[in-house]
Chain A
Amino acid sequence: MGRNRLLTARAAESEAAMTVAQLEDRVLALEKAVARLEEKVARPEAPSSNGAAPGPTEDEIIDGVEYDFVPNVPPLAVVEVRARIVAVEQAPVRLSLSDAEWQSMAAMLEIDTDVP
Chain B
Amino acid sequence: MSHDGWYEVVEGPDLLQGDLLDACPLPRFSVELPCPLGADPDLRLRVETFHLVVMSQSCDLVNDKVAEVLLARRMAWSEVVRAEGGHNPVLRSAKFRKALVDGNIPSMALLHKRDTAPGLPWSLVDFHALFTVPKSYLSRFAAANRPRLRLRSPYREHLAQAFARLCHSRRPAAGRPCLRERGRRGAVRALRRERKRGRVKGDVHDFRNDECPLLSARL
Contacts and interface: CB of A to CB of B under 8 A. Distances in A.
Given A70-B66, A93-B75, A109-B99, A86 B90 contact: no
Given A70-B66, A95-B84, A113-B90, A90 B49 contact: yes
A19 interface: no
A95 B175 CA distance: 20
B37 A81 contact: yes
Interface residues of A, number: 38
Nearest to A88: B47
Interface centre among A87, A94, A105, A106 (most CB of B within 10 A): A105
Contacts of B193: none
Contacts of B47: 85, 87-89
Contacts of A111: 89-90, 93, 95-96
Contacts of B172: none
Determine chain B's interface SS by DSSP, over half rule: mixed
Contacts of A87: 46-47
B182 interface: no
A92 interface: yes
Nearest to A89: B48
B37 A92 contact: no
A68 B83 CA distance: 45
Interface in A61-116: 68-70, 79, 81-97, 101-102, 104-113, 115-116
A49 interface: yes
B65 A70 contact: yes
Nearest to A90: B49
A50 interface: yes
A81 B41 contact: yes
A48 interface: yes
Interface stretch (B112-120, B124-132, B152-160, B203-211): B124-132
B198 interface: no
Nearest to A51: B64
B135 interface: yes
B43 A82 contact: yes
Given A49-B135, A50-B64, A81-B41, A109 B49 contact: no
Nearest to B28: A91
A96 B135 contact: no
A33 B27 CA distance: 41
B129 A96 contact: yes
Contacts of B48: 88-91
A68 B63 CA distance: 8
B129 A90 contact: no
Contacts of A93: 75, 79-80, 82-84
Given A108-B179, A109-B99, A49 B90 contact: no
